[in-house]
Chains A and B, each alone.
Chain A
């Protein structure tokens, strides 16, 4: 483990992805950059939101910037980890919020991390300046295939690392699922396009309308590999999973593709955004449980459908969609029915869909992907009528466009090794193309990690490292009363005025005052409170003022494998009390203890984890 004690004369903010510096000033502070697994372990244990974020966004830092009304800085802090803050601020699946300490039992509701991300994007000054730290040109040439979130994120990082990157995209516009899968009432295109452009401004060469594959007029992968020092496959998983109907052979043609008024949700949305005019009947059924299914349903409502019903195999509790997304859908009059599996499609004389036969399900065990299984009950079939059926039960990757043989894993996705390299030297893969359909933020996070992997491979050494920056904080930055501020609600469009168009955004975004209130709620978990046991006189003044049982008399502590601390062993017998210690997991950073300590033996440090150029 290397621990460098140094005083840094600070040059530019870009190099240091933390919130402790202000524009133009040279700040001199005693700082410790640590790669000590115990310090990284502390962060992983104590900053649940950042660790939950696949892109490791420095969340407490950017929320803190909002309280200081430095939206540009806040936006940049986001951008350091994720090149599309304004976009993710709208459609992110928010793995962070479910982990937020403020949402833990007894603490109330999680901080609206995602909405605040969007606020920073909305309120950064019009003349906002983007900060990038650039390596000198390396002369290496890289091809990235697929301009989706993973591809764009990787391309951006590779270009900052000094490589010259060419980005190939099949569609006319970059963005992948962002541009073609997600409806505009959830993600306005102007926001998306600006951020995509910024991501590629550093000389990423974008070639749209170019399809990589084997057919005529298509670029061959083997060819690209010859032209470039490295190739990254980020083609996502853009193929809809076929509907498994009872008694259907695997090789038999998919009926869903033959029937009129039956369509795969993914194709439905992609066509829509390619500009193909779409129509739906009065009664629309959507089969599926993901964001795509909900988007299809909400689009259908806007296209004039009167009754839209989403059919789930399991129940609302177990579908991977934001609860308020579900709530909005319901407010738009969409009905959700659980515990039913479609077993057959009912057609009329003209071969059009007439309805669906379902089987009643009961819940089964847990599947290995962490989702709940549903088991149809024999003889429980029943029918329901509809005019249009949209099937959105999943997406998958395709490999048939490759003219290079790559090893696949048992799920049929390409297998990658350390650093993201496939079985073929110099060919890497990232994002949904590797993992199958996941979330946007996961794709971006993966894209970045693979980019670093590629760079290391190309340059022969690691040039970007995960570090923890530790520096003293003068005083607590919160008040106990902040903890009683209720979670702010996202103002939304009146239901009445939502229908009839596909573009008017439903979520209006926070107003400033509301946002400041919300930002204040953040516990700033990256603050670490430590007691200097040698100076402690065991007077318990800190325990007296603590708002919860966050300071404990201890005789031991559980050490986890990764070196971080687990449960503290509490004792009440005076002759066993080895130390008074702050349980940072219980601590809500109110600072009360710091204020009262008679021997001033409590210190606060800011602990920020990020990728640092080295």
Chain B
């Protein structure tokens, strides 16, 4: 039996939320995901994070591809780009190159990212484009009504794997680490407070930050990545974890049965735009010295 809570007095609560300014980051339309979908947690987290980072809505862009998750920009009161299936990262890169001052957040599902869009991720990562890529991983295709996805677990039953999924799921964290992403973290939709904190750090990071969010699909996954299963499995990274240690990050990323939440890896290095600026500088006869000064 859970302990008795001090009463929540609604009027105070509402005032608090009102003043937080969180609502200013929401669009007018209610999210159209299935009731119970983990993505709600993410849209809530992103708006809270942006609130706490005090980002200007007009200087923020949310970019997505195709899929349930990619409806995200419609629910934010920021600039948004709902592009084509798997093609969100190139679009975002273009936006970033055009205006380095924008905060660009790319959001999409696991199919959009690692199936059709898989070819784009390595390049966005190694170039260290200064964007945040939040992947909503529910391990199933929602929009086409429940087919297997690259992160579906072995033995997962979907309409296209009626005899159970025989394909080993890929490990996004290890992929991204090995692609050279400069910030890699993991969160869980069922723990909204931690999720918010992680999104905040990811956006704050300068460079390509990849946040992997475990998020149940309540409509097409009743057996695998459910709130119950994930809720029991997830645990925080050990306090001793050193986020600057790549090997440690890779090691932690190998733990897939009991996913660990937190910042796996974080390292500052020049971004794509730094490089472009540098090239400009060189073209204009600048030098490495000035770069050091600038850095």
Contact = CB atoms under 8 A, between A and B. Distances in A.
Interface in A517-556: 530-535, 537-544, 553-556
A32 interface: yes
A121 interface: no
Nearest to B26: A575
Interface stretch (A48-56, A73-81, A140-148, A466-474): A466-474
Contact of A537 (B4, B29, B189): B189
Contacts of B44: 537-538
Contact of B9 (A38, A572, A576): A38
Contact of B36 (A544, A555, A573): A544
Contacts of A12: none
B194 to A, nearest CB: 12
A39 interface: yes
B4 A598 contact: no
B206 to A, nearest CB: 29
B197 to A, nearest CB: 14
B4 A605 contact: yes
A402 to B, nearest CB: 49
A4 to B, nearest CB: 12
B23 A575 contact: yes
B11 A578 contact: no
Nearest to A575: B26
Interface residues of A, number: 47
Contact of B28 (A540, A575, A603): A575
Nearest to B195: A537
A512 B260 CA distance: 56
Contacts of B190: 598-599
A486 interface: no
B293 interface: no
Contacts of B227: 598
A577 B18 CA distance: 9
* Among A5, A474, A538, A559: residue with most chain B CB under 10 A: A538
B7 A557 contact: no
B189 to A, nearest CB: 7
Nearest to B13: A533
Contact of A539 (B11, B14, B35): B35
A265 B33 CA distance: 70
A539 B4 contact: no
B107 to A, nearest CB: 16
A556 B14 contact: yes
B2 A472 contact: yes
Contacts of A366: none
Contact of A576 (B1, B13, B23, B33): B23
A574 interface: yes
A538 B216 CA distance: 15
B14 A574 contact: no
B28 A598 contact: no
Contacts of A222: none
A544 B33 CA distance: 12
B75 A574 contact: yes
A574 B218 contact: no
B30 interface: yes
A353 B107 CA distance: 94
Given A38-B7, A598-B38, A574 B13 contact: no
B192 A530 contact: no
Nearest to A474: B1
Contacts of B294: none
B160 interface: no
Contact of B13 (A29, A544, A579, A603): A579
Interface in B74-97: 75, 77
B250 interface: no
Interface string B1-40: 1111101111101100110000110111111010111101
Nearest to A569: B14
B14 A535 contact: no
B10 A603 contact: no
A598 B35 CA distance: 10
Contacts, number: 111
B41 interface: yes
Nearest to B5: A603
Which applies to chain B's interface (DSSP): helix, strand, loop or mixed? loop
A579 B17 contact: yes
Contacts of B10: 554, 557, 565, 579, 581
B3 A573 contact: no
B14 A541 contact: no
Contacts of B26: 574-575, 577
B6 to A, nearest CB: 8
A521 B214 CA distance: 42
B37 A31 contact: no
A30 interface: yes
B267 to A, nearest CB: 31
B30 A539 contact: no
B198 to A, nearest CB: 15
Contacts of A92: none
B36 A472 contact: no
A146 B1 CA distance: 49
Contacts of A32: 4
B23 A30 contact: no
Contacts of A538: 31, 40, 44
A319 B38 CA distance: 58
A598 B195 CA distance: 15
A573 B35 contact: no
B1 A472 contact: yes
Contacts of B4: 5, 30-32, 470-472, 605
B170 to A, nearest CB: 26
A596 interface: yes
Contacts of A581: 10
Contact of A578 (B7, B23, B31, B77): B23
B247 to A, nearest CB: 35
Contacts of A543: 35
A574 B30 contact: yes
A31 B33 CA distance: 39
A31 to B, nearest CB: 7
Interface in A458-496: 470-472, 474
B24 A578 contact: no
A202 to B, nearest CB: 35
Contacts of B31: 538, 574
A573 B27 CA distance: 8
Contacts of A540: 30, 35-36, 40
Contacts of A534: 193
Nearest to A541: B36
Contacts of B18: 578
Closest 6 CB pairs of A and B: A541-B36, A544-B35, A539-B40, A537-B41, A575-B26, A541-B35
15 contacts: A5-B4, A29-B1, A30-B3, A32-B4, A38-B9, A535-B192, A537-B192, A540-B35, A557-B14, A565-B10, A573-B28, A574-B31, A575-B24, A579-B17, A598-B41
Given A38-B9, A472-B1, A539-B41, 13 more contacts: A30-B4, A31-B4, A530-B8, A539-B40, A541-B218, A554-B10, A557-B10, A574-B28, A578-B18, A579-B10, A579-B13, A579-B17, A599-B190
